[in-house]
Structure 1
Amino acid sequence: MLDNPLKATIQAILHQCSGPISEHQLIRELKARQLITDTSSLDNLYSVHFLVMNALYQLQTELLDHEWYLSISPLEIHLLRVCAVSQHNALANGSHDCLLREYYLDWRNLDTMSHEGLQQLMDQFWRRFAAWDQRSDALIVLGVPSTAKWEEIQLAYRKKAAELHPDKGGDPGLFREVRTAYEMLAKSYKKGKC
């Protein structure tokens, strides 16, 4: 595995932080130290993002040997002390984390990414973001938390639909809004997205 040129500086920054740091803050700090210069284009931003994530995942493995666990997400990168007993479990978070880890540790994913491939990734991200945003709005309409199980969503829908049904003197517009929210959530549950 190639050694990442940002790794030592990122490690020093993380040890100086008293709490979590975002990827954006980390990149800003690397720019201030003049290790990163240009993030003005999508291609350059992806390269910087990849280098930062690659360094973080390399550090995650190395720091574990020194009883540190590096928790990695774009919004919160956090260096935590771990006890020796939990070291063997620390990197086995879940399949999604493992897939990200494998992706960012494979330098070929940086070398082979084309501008068109980046554009497709961005388009996929915005579609997922829009779907998540619609889901959040639908949950608010039904008055349930984002952690609600399907049975709770169904119960909330039945209750709201009974209150708002036009045949029972309810508001037809609000009833349609509740029904639309429920139908959108039902589709996402059938596709296995929730």
Structure 2
Amino acid sequence: MQSALFFFEVGSLSQNLSLFQTHFILFHALYRLNQLGHETQTFNIEIHVLSIQLNVISANSTTEPSCYLESDGLRDYYLDWNNFDKTDSADVASLLSQFWQKYNKNALYTPQLVEQAQAYFEFDTTPTMKELKAKYRHKSLEYHPDKGGTTERFSELLNHYKVMKNAITKL
């Protein structure tokens, strides 16, 4: 395993994959630290997208930290190193696209994402809807799980198709 310092060197946050890896390591460490606080019943860390807060548990407190009373999919995700190891650049692009689609529909269609989708479909310029649909049909025959493809590749195809379709309709 590589040293965590590698991910914090100058320039390590300039690529989406290394940014994801750095974020993953940070959140993995926070959740591990939170486990320690829970096990020792001395503190808990509230970990949210926009804030991280340390809560010290007093010696006479009888309540368990609330973060361990319920299922936490994010905690499970960040504590599983397989998620770090198996995530590649395409996965990160898909995760980012899904994130922006969920939290800010307009940001899904940033120039960078449109450029990536255009390259994915091998267009030099913005295509017509007819050209996009033809490329989409061709790739869907190859990537669809029922045709021998995988769910991941087909999901990536759908994400790129949505980005291009929106870019074309906004012209």
TM-score, scaled to structure 1: 0.46
Q: Report whether the alignment pairs 1:112 with 2:76.
A: no
**Which 5+ residue runs of structure 1 have no aligned equivalent?**
7-29, 134-194
Match of 1:91 among 63, 68, 71: 68
Contact 1:67 1:87 in 2 (8 A): no
Contact 1:71 1:79 in 2 (8 A): yes
Q: Describe the SS at the equivalent of 2:55.
A: strand
Q: Describe the SS at the equivalent of 1:85.
A: coil
Pick closer, same or farther for the CA change 1:77–1:106 going to 2, 3 Å: same
Residue in 1 that maps onto 2:130: none
- Corresponding letter in the other structure for 1:127: Q
Pick closer, same or farther for the CA change 1:118–1:35 going to 2, 3 Å: closer
| Count of matched residue positions in the alignment of Structure 1 and Structure 2 | 101
Residue in 1 that maps onto 2:16: 42
CA deviation vs aligned residue, 1:55-110 (integer Å, no higher than 9, x gap): 00000010221411111113211111124411264412x44xx1000000000000
Q: Describe the SS at the equivalent of 1:87.
A: coil
C-alpha distance in 2 between matches for 1:100 and 1:78: 16
Residue in 1 that maps onto 2:46: 71
- Corresponding letter in the other structure for 2:17: D
Pick closer, same or farther for the CA change 1:111–1:69 going to 2, 3 Å: same
TM-score, scaled to structure 2: 0.52
Aligned residues with identical type, % of pairs: 27
Contact 2:41 2:57 in 1 (8 A): no
Residue in 2 that maps onto 1:80: 55
Structure 1 residue ranges, 4+ long, deviating more than 6 angstroms after superposition: none
Residue in 1 that maps onto 2:31: 57
Pick closer, same or farther for the CA change 1:73–1:88 going to 2, 3 Å: closer
Pick closer, same or farther for the CA change 1:88–1:43 going to 2, 3 Å: closer
Q: Specify the structure having the higher radius of gyration (Cα).
A: 1
CA deviation vs aligned residue, 1:107-144 (integer Å, no higher than 9, x gap): 000000011111111111111112599xxxxxxxxxxx
C-alpha distance in 1 between matches for 2:67 and 2:21: 27
Q: Describe the SS at the equivalent of 1:86.
A: coil
C-alpha distance in 2 between matches for 1:57 and 1:109: 15
